[in-house]
Amino acid sequence: MILACLIINNRGKPRLNKFYERYPIDTQKKLIREVYQAISKRPPSACNFLENAYGFWGKGNGVKIVYRTYATLCFIMVVDSAESELGIMDLIQSFVECLDHQFENVCELDLIFHSDKVHFILDEMILGGLVIEARYQNILPSLEAQDKMDRASR
């Protein structure tokens, strides 16, 4: 199961945080900080997986951080041991491709000014911590249709 999906920029500012398990707000902040600290120290050549993430996700219950950096943004998935690490890498790639199609050559500013849309895309891909759809060709039409309804109702 996916426990959280985060996007953090290279200065440690969160651009998206989505938790699929219940954590109080203070814990969420702490988790984000810890994940960022753990990842920002790693050189680009290091592998994209980090085990036994510090702190609240608990030691020893097989929690892994799978992350991937694109320019200034780091996409992070915190998963439990039931997920295949490499599969999650694919999921991050799919997510980024999806964002790229939605915003046409996506950049950090798109995520800042349209954080609601980023959430909508993520909700189409992951539901309750499980992957529901991973291909942008299937996600974008339904998003498009919802945006149309959105505009019509204004």
Partner 1 sequence: MAFNKLRNNVSQVNRGTAIGVCADLFMSHLKDFIREIRACKTAAEEREVVARESADIRTSFKDMKCKTRDRNMAKLLFIHLLGYPAYFGQVETVNLIASSKFHEKRLGYLALMVLLDEQQDLLMLLPNTMKTDMASPSNFMTALALVALGNIGNSEMIRDLSSELEKCFRHSHAYIRKKATLCAVRAIRKDPDVADQYAPKSPQYDQLVPTAVRALKSLLLSNYSSQHDVAGITDPFLQIKLLQVMRVLGRGNKAASDLMNDVLAQVATNTDHRKNAGTAVLYECVQTVLSIEAEPVRMCADICVCCVFVCRKEGGVFVCYRKNAGTAVLYECVQTVLSIEAEPALRVLAVNILMRFLARNDNNTRYVALNLLSKVVTLDKPTVQRHKKIIVDCLNDPDISIRRRALELTYALVDATNCRHLVTEMVDYLGRADAEFKTDLTRKICIACEKYAPSKKWQLDTIIKVLSTAGSYVRDDIPSALVLLISQTPTLHLYAAQRLYAALYQATHARVAAVAGAAAPAVSGGKQEEQQPPEETLTQVAIWALGEYGDLLPTEPFELNPHAEGEPQVAVGPAELVGLLEQIIRLPLTTAPTRAYALTALTKLSGRFTDAPVLARITDLIAAYRTDITVELQQRACEYGAVLGASAGVLRQALVKRMPVPDLTCPLTRNTEEDENSFIEQFSEQFSE
Residues 59-118 that bind partner 1 (CB under 8 A): 62, 68, 70-73, 81-82, 84-87, 89-91, 93-94, 96, 99-100, 105-109, 112-113, 115-116
- 109 and 150 in contact (C-beta within 8 Å)? no
By CB under 8 A, how many residues form the interface with partner 1?
72
139 binds partner 1 (CB under 8 A): no
151 binds partner 1 (CB under 8 A): yes
Q: Minimum distance from CB of 35 to partner 1 (Å)?
A: 14
Which amino acid type is present at position 21?
A: E
132 binds partner 1 (CB under 8 A): yes
134 binds partner 1 (CB under 8 A): yes
40 binds partner 1 (CB under 8 A): no
43 binds partner 1 (CB under 8 A): yes
Q: Residue from 12, 51, 58, 59 that binds partner 1 (CB under 8 A)?
A: 51
Q: Minimum distance from CB of 94 to partner 1 (Å)?
A: 7
Computed from CA positions of residues 20, 26, 29, 35, in that sequence, does the dihedral angle turn out positive or negative? negative
Q: Minimum distance from CB of 23 to partner 1 (Å)?
A: 8
11 binds partner 1 (CB under 8 A): no
C-alpha 13/C-alpha 86 separation (Å) is 26
- 77 and 67 in contact (C-beta within 8 Å)? yes
Q: Quote the strand ranges of the chain, DSSP E.
A: 2-9, 14-19, 49-51, 64-70, 73-79, 126-127, 130-131
CA dihedral 21, 23, 28, 30 (to 10 degrees): -120
Which amino acid type is present at position 153?
A: S
Nearest CB to partner 1, comparing residues 55 and 90: 90
Residues facing residue 2 across a β-bridge? 79
Structure tokens at 120: 């909508």
